[in-house]
Amino acid sequence: MRVIIAKNYDEICSKAADVIEAVVRAEPGCTLGLATGSSPVGMYKELSRRCHEEGLDFSAVHSVNLDEYVGLEPTHDQSYRYFMNDNLFDHINIDKANTYVAKGTGDAEANLKEFNEMLDRTDIAVQVLGVGPDGHLGFNEPGDTLCDGAHLETLDESTIDANARFFASRDDVPRYAVTMGMGNIMRARKLLLIISGSKKDAASALLKSDRIDPHCPVTFLRLHRDAVVFLEQSLADEIGYKG
Ligand code: GLP
């Protein structure tokens, strides 16, 4: 696992965009695994800029997203499909037909089947990740066991609390989500984790301990051959991580 301590969030975004750019330039028809949440927003902005100003070409790129809330239509402004269009796809020359965000409404079983089949035939070149305050990846919530494939998750109370800021009220936060499983994430050829915000516990568990703990899913990154983790100097200082 490679850990990069950046002086601030802007530097994280620029260096993380370098990683994605290198993958896209080397393999123009690759599949990117993408994430929502506030952590990757700056990187998406930077990739959009590079697409417009520097000719970074997404025309042959495919993508698949980590997760989606259950119960939100793709047109709902807090659905992850809406988020991806709004923060990235509408600003780059990707063909939206080549972008996949799992469906959160309709026949739940059929949606999961489609998501799993899609993942089974997809070779993700790089998977972008953020981390929840409780250490969740995608919506793989902490527990005694974790799932390999895409599945339905009941969101932890702490996740509902953390995500309530995006909704009019806490009651509006969906209670369920579909998510890639830990196996799907770990099978990506490369992992790119951006830790931003107050993620002290998750960051400490990942960076300052040797334990792989299903009660803190982000610790599984230690098992990956090609994982790169970005964090800000201020967070590294807070948890006493020197690199
Ligand atoms: C949500 C998403 C996760 C994301 C997490 C952290 O729960 N399902 O994929 O990593 O939020 O979000 P943020 O980057 O806003 O802290």
**C-alpha 106: how far from chain center:** 24
Give the pocket of ligand 1 (CB within 6 Å). Answer: 35-39, 66-67, 130-132, 138-139, 159, 163, 197
CATH topology of domain 2-239: Rossmann fold (3.40.50)
Query: How confident is the model at residue 243, as a pLDDT?
Result: 85
Query: How confident is the model at residue 114, as a pLDDT?
Result: 98
∠130-26-40 over CA atoms, to 5°? 15
Ligand 1 atom at minimum distance from 155 CA: 7
Distance 128 CA to ligand 1 centre (A): 11
Tell me the whole-structure pTM to 2 decimals. Answer: 0.97
Q: Which letter does DSSP use for residue 44 in this model?
A: H
Distance 138 CA to ligand 1 centre (A): 7
Distance 160 CA to ligand 1 centre (A): 11
What is the C-alpha to C-alpha distance for residues 157 and 234, in angstroms, rounded to an integer? 27
Does residue 180 contact residue 150 with C-beta atoms inside 8 Å? Answer: yes
Mean pLDDT of 7-25: 98
Distance 162 CA to ligand 1 centre (A): 9
Mean pLDDT of 207-224: 97
Is residue 197 over pLDDT 90? no
What is the tens place of the pLDDT at every residue in 89-125?
Answer: 999 999 999 999 999 999 999 999 999 999 999 999 9
Query: How confident is the model at residue 73, as a pLDDT?
Result: 96
The residue whose CA is least distant from atom 10 of ligand 1 is 130
Query: How confident is the model at residue 198, as a pLDDT?
Result: 83
Domain boundaries, the chain: 2-239
Residue 6, strand partner residues = 232
What is the C-alpha to C-alpha distance for residues 183 and 186, in angstroms, rounded to an integer? 5
The residue whose CA is least distant from atom 1 of ligand 1 is 37
**Percent of the residues in the chain that have a pLDDT greater than 70, as a whole number:** 100
